[in-house]
């Protein structure tokens, strides 16, 4: 973290760390735990310094047992705490999935709202870091398909801070997906303004205005979409980029307003395309914007294969070239 005359330069990871520290300072019921999140500060150093500042009762290490971590979080949340748990890597979270689906997502409904579970499940997810097997995966569809869960994925440093603080304050469970390849990205922010504001779970934003087509992305795909829009601008084509931010609840209003203006849409995501969040977004846009569309809604996603080895990652992940090739397929000759 570097302070300047105009603001503070933060990495994505430091923005998350600052959000955790600010919420722990503001609310004594917030506790942080998971594998290596204590003195080490987590694999990605997101929890760095929290144990030293708040003590081992507020930020502590757990055994290597994700189902146990999640079960403990459920019990804590039922008894008045606000647990923030870290699943060290996306694919490590699968042993806890039964707890998430059977208990975390269903408890408020099962008790007719009498028992709330205000907990956050932080998951470093997606690719771009050359991770080996079980260390990179795009698991958002599993959580988005489960009623009772709020699912968000920030793509910028300001959103990393504000969305995490809002997630911790949320009355219901939140799956907080942190793109691993963005942890070291930096932005200059007005930290005090961020502390006074709110991102707004359930609200998408226009990350780049445009007129000819809409690129819809979330999490790790947003920077790629922005690079594609910049490349397209050099060729005289104006692409609007929507950062979804909140997968569940989904902001139909902002997304569809953009598509109705541009008349064309491409959905971009790193996860495989079949039965995916990208599929749902494409369906929602097609249903709501049919009479405004000049071409079918298209998608650029990961391929329908197991996540590849590190040296093959570049061929699997959506790229600027794949996005621009797909934009070229939007029936421009019929406009």
Q: How far apart are CA 94 and CA 91, in angstroms?
A: 6
Long-range CB pairs of 103-109 (<8 Å, 24+ gap) are 103/71, 103/74, 104/70, 104/73, 104/74, 104/148, 104/149, 104/173, 105/146, 105/147, 105/148, 105/149, 105/173, 106/148, 107/74, 107/78, 108/148, 108/172, 109/147, 109/148
Q: Give CA–CA dist 319/140, Å, rounded.
A: 20
- Catalytic sites, residue numbers: 135
Q: How many C-beta atoms lie closer than 10 Å to residue 8's C-beta?
A: 19
DSSP letter for each residue of 251-280: -HHHHHHHHHHHS-EEEEEEEESTTSHHHH
């Amino acid at each position: 973290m570097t302070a300047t005359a105009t603001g503070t330069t933060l990495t994505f990871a430091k923005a998350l760390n600052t959000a955790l520290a600010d919420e722990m300072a503001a609310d004594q019921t917030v506790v942080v735990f998971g594998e290596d999140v204590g003195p080490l500060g987590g694999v990605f150093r997101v929890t760095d310094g929290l144990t030293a500042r708040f003590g081992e009762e507020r930020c502590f290490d757990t055994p290597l047992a994700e189902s146990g971590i999640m079960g403990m979080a459920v019990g804590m949340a039922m008894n008045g705490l606000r647990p923030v748990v870290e699943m060290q890597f996306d694919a490590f979270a699968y042993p806890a999935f039964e707890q998430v689906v059977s208990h975390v997502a269903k408890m408020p409904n099962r008790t007719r709202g009498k028992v709330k579970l205000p907990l956050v499940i932080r998951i470093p997810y997606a690719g771009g870091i050359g991770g080996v097997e079980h260390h990179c995966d795009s698991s958002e569809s599993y959580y988005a398909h489960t009623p009772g869960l709020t699912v968000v994925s920030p793509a910028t440093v300001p959103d990393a801070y504000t969305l995490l603080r809002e997630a911790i304050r949320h009355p219901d469970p939140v799956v907080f997906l942190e793109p691993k390849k963005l942890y070291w990205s930096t932005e200059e922010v007005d930290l005090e303004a961020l502390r006074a504001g709110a991102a707004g779970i359930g609200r998408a934003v226009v990350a780049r205005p445009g007129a000819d087509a809409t690129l819809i992305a979330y999490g790790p795909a947003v920077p790629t979409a922005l690079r594609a829009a910049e490349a397209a601008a050099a060729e005289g084509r104006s692409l609007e980029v929507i950062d979804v931010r909140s997968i569940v609840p989904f902001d139909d209003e902002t997304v569809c307003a953009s598509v109705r203006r541009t008349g064309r849409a491409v959905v971009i995501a790193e996860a495989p395309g079949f039965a995916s969040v990208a599929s749902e977004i494409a369906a929602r846009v097609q249903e709501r914007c049919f009479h405004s569309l000049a071409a079918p809604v298209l998608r650029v996603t990961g391929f329908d294969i197991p996540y590849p080895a590190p040296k093959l990652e570049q061929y699997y992940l959506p790229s600027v070239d794949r996005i621009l090739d797909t934009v070229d397929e939007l029936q421009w000759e019929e406009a």
